[in-house]
């Protein structure tokens, strides 16, 4: 992360927008327990992905004919948009997120199989994860930053996954 020093200004100016976002997240949430952030942001991300995945998708005859309907759902579009946005911020981190999303997709499919076998509905499990992740993130963020704004909290939830990956990359000394 390269900083441009701009005179006597207290807030550094960064070359890339992702560095500015991560700097802001570090200032606001960097003092908290990273393991709880990983767990709560991970639960939230998985839950949102599961909820989007379970939105009914139109059935297309030509896809069913070639047995490809199961691979196309709203989750596919959500993943594509998310990876595109993360790719614009930090390409290397977006690849790590793609790997993470692949693992989470596997578990969502396993939840679908479990639901078909009489288990709980995927949307219900996903909703519980969203609520647990959001509440956990919010409580931890409020503890770290008592004057938490909704914009800061939203930044944590949306950029949190690649922010946490950036910590892993820094630990492993991998440039992103």
100 pLDDT band, cuts 50/70/90, is: very high
pLDDT at 2 over 90: no
Q: What is the pLDDT of residue 70?
A: 59
| Residue pair 41/133 in contact by the 8 Å Cβ criterion | yes
Give me the pLDDT at residue 45, please: 95
Q: What is the pLDDT of residue 74?
A: 86
* 56 SS3 class: coil
With a cut of 60, say whether residue 5 has pLDDT above it. no
More confident residue, 58 or 18: 18
Spans of all domains in the chain: 35-55+70-171
Predicted local confidence at residue 23, as pLDDT = 86
What 3-state class would DSSP assign to 67? coil
Which pLDDT score, from 0 to 100, does residue 95 have?
93
pLDDT tens-digit profile of 74-97?
Answer: 888 899 999 999 999 999 999 999
> What is the percent of the chain where pLDDT is above 90?
46
Structure confidence by residue, pLDDT tens digits, 25-76: 887 776 667 788 889 999 999 999 999 999 887 776 766 665 555 567 888 8
CA 120 → CA 4, 53, 111, 169, distances in Å? Answer: 52, 16, 8, 36
Secondary structure letter of residue 173 according to DSSP: T
Task: Tell me the whole-structure pTM to 2 decimals.
Answer: 0.80
């Amino acid at each position: 992360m390269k900083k441009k020093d701009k005179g006597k200004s207290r807030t550094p100016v960064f070359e890339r927008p992702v560095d500015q976002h991560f700097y802001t997240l570090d200032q606001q949430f960097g003092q908290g327990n990273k393991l709880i952030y990983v767990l709560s942001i991970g639960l939230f991300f998985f839950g949102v992905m599961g909820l989007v995945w379970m939105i009914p998708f139109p059935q297309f005859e030509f896809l069913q004919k070639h047995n490809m309907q199961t691979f196309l759902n709203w989750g596919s579009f959500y993943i594509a948009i998310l990876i595109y946005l993360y790719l614009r911020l930090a390409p290397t981190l977006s690849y790590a997120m793609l790997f993470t999303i692949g693992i989470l997709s596997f578990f969502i499919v396993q939840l679908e199989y479990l639901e078909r076998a009489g288990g709980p509905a995927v949307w219900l499990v996903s909703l519980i994860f969203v609520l647990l992740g959001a509440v956990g993130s919010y409580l931890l963020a409020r503890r770290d930053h008592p004057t938490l704004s909704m914009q800061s909290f939203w930044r944590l939830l949306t950029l949190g996954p690649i922010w946490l990956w950036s910590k892993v990359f820094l630990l492993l000394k991998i440039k992103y």
